[in-house]
Amino acid sequence: IVTATGVFIYVTQKDRHPGEQRDFDPEKKTIVVLGSGWGATSMLKSLDTEDYNVVVISPRNYFLFTPLLPSVAIGTLDSRSIIQPTRYITRHKSRRVYVYEAEAQEVDPKNKTVTFADNSPVKGGVSSTTIPYDYLVYAVGAETQTFGIPGVREHACFMKELHDAEKLRTTIMDCIESAAFKDQSDDEIDRLLHCVVVGGGPTGVELSGELHDFLKEDLENWYPDIAPRLRITLIEALPNVLPTFSRELIKYTESTFKENKIDVMTKTMVKEIKEKSVTVQNATGERVEIPFGAIVWAAGNVGRPITRKLMEHFPEHQTNKRGITVDDFLRMKGADGIFAVGDCTATSYAPTAQVASQEGTYLARLFGQIAKKEKLEKRLADLRSGPHTDETAREIENVVKQINKASKLRPFHYSHQGSLAYIGSEKAIADLPFLNGNFASGGVATYLFWRSAYLSNLFSLRNRFLVINDWLKVKIFGRDVSR
């Protein structure tokens, strides 16, 4: 541990800081990046800032490792362990990257500008401004889909941002303490101890599994009188949970949930959420009211209003309601200089972290190639305007060849590495595209694989260190049950 800590401190100390980086170069083109999620962060990590000025605008000044968000909701992991400040990522660059914690309000694709506003509650004198871009990396993600169902926004917790996970944890602890209140009525205890998760996609399934662990491993010890009455219900509109996973893994998940007493209600559609109950419609069309203490809404995502506004500028090219249509090189169709990655796009790929991250890395490489081509074109122009000798003629020929090579852009190609999901009680499922077929696996070995895969995917040594530390802490002391 001492050695590991030593290496860790040494590596951290070696990093650059903004004061040691070169500043903007007015000769270079400016890339404005909107977002700090999977797509934007992967792009930033791989981008060579030698060739560009870079500005990042995002409502949060950090990257959030979303796959581990359910673990924060039940206190296995600390919030700080799965985030990485964007400035930690950009400090490795040779040229300074400007990071603004702000909300992009409008993109003007004609004048190539972005207007953004300070989104912090403590505002200074200047709180809104507009800047120009040469290239825009549009990576704003998506927001939670509510389908306009009454009461969702008012009464349900989402599972998208760090504050959603923190809010759910507080709500669960509030429900438990109120249920444990002296002389609480039986009906109220049952209501308060009922946790409902809406949406049987990977988010809802992982969260249900984690909630089960919290109940079994901790709450039963600390609240022995009421904990046996704690219930988890997962509601899904389709005939089964995890529609994108294989049949075998769906069955495995459903049987594990049955063993763990997680009630799965399929073919059941949520119609309304009130303060203390949810109205559902089951397969026979009957409406039932289910009381709850805490409810989580994990029913999928939809494009953000700013994305719809941007798409309206290109009515001919941008007609897909799911999001931005891009070409094979991730360029927004119809626009000049806009590249779009991640959940804000409508592609043939699922809107996952894996896709966004590969798109980001691809884009960084593409920018490298664009910069190389531009440099060569400048060199060619210089050669052509200079004295004409045999040597310059040879060099011109050579540069033209290089320009032709640099002009051949390789289209984006997604390489699926498989899907993993944690389902509770130290079990996980994995759909892995091994060899020619799909290799499906579930169980404890898969759980260890899940842990190591997530660890290696964490964006920094610092995050890995913090997450391992949290896992060890929970193994030794259990989860913290304070509010």
- Interaction site with ligand NAD (CB under 6 A): 67, 149, 198-204, 206, 235-238, 243-244, 269-270, 298-301, 350-352, 419-421
Strand 157-158 versus strand 294-297 pairing type: parallel
What sign results for the dihedral spanned by CA atoms 36, 41, 45, 50?
negative
Amino acid (1-letter code) at residue 332? M
Q: Are 195 and 204 in contact (CB under 8 A)?
A: no
Residue 33 or 420: the one with the smaller Cβ distance to ligand NAD is: 420
State the minimum distance, in angstroms, from the CB of residue 63 to ligand NAD: 16
Residue 49 or 71: the one with the smaller Cβ distance to ligand NAD is: 71
State the minimum distance, in angstroms, from the CB of residue 292 to ligand NAD: 14
Query: DSSP assignment, residue 319?
Result: -
Residue 6 or 243: the one with the smaller Cβ distance to ligand NAD is: 243
State the minimum distance, in angstroms, from the CB of residue 237 to ligand NAD: 4
State the minimum distance, in angstroms, from the CB of residue 471 to ligand NAD: 18
Q: Are 83 and 39 in contact (CB under 8 A)?
A: no
State the minimum distance, in angstroms, from the CB of residue 193 to ligand NAD: 22
Other residues' Cβ atoms within 10 Å of the Cβ of residue 19: 6
Q: Are 372 and 406 in contact (CB under 8 A)?
A: yes
Strand 231-235 versus strand 52-58 pairing type: unpaired
E strands, 42-170, where? 52-58, 62-64, 83-85, 97-108, 113-118, 128-132, 135-138, 142-144, 157-158
Cross-strand pairs, 290: 278
State the minimum distance, in angstroms, from the CB of residue 332 to ligand NAD: 21
Residue 260 or 352: the one with the smaller Cβ distance to ligand NAD is: 352
Cross-strand pairs, 252: none
Closest-by-Cβ residue to ligand NAD is 201
Interatomic CA distance for residues 55 and 30, integer angstroms: 8
Residue 168 or 421: the one with the smaller Cβ distance to ligand NAD is: 421
Residue 400 or 444: the one with the smaller Cβ distance to ligand NAD is: 444
Question: 424 to each of 301, 418, 450, how far by Cα in Å?
Answer: 24, 19, 12
State the minimum distance, in angstroms, from the CB of residue 279 to ligand NAD: 11
State the minimum distance, in angstroms, from the CB of residue 404 to ligand NAD: 39
Residue 203 or 463: the one with the smaller Cβ distance to ligand NAD is: 203
From the list 186, 210, 298, the residue with the least C-alpha distance to 219 is 210
State the minimum distance, in angstroms, from the CB of residue 203 to ligand NAD: 3
Residue 113 or 281: the one with the smaller Cβ distance to ligand NAD is: 281
From the list 22, 9, 125, 118, the residue with the least C-alpha distance to 61 is 118
Other residues' Cβ atoms within 10 Å of the Cβ of residue 418: 16
Residue 51 or 236: the one with the smaller Cβ distance to ligand NAD is: 236
State the minimum distance, in angstroms, from the CB of residue 139 to ligand NAD: 15
Residue 353 or 371: the one with the smaller Cβ distance to ligand NAD is: 353
3-state SS class at 202: helix
Q: What is the largest CA-CA distance in the chain?
A: 99
Written as six digits, the tokens of 150 are 């009454």
Q: Are 466 and 68 in contact (CB under 8 A)?
A: no
Interatomic CA distance for residues 458 and 426, integer angstroms: 20
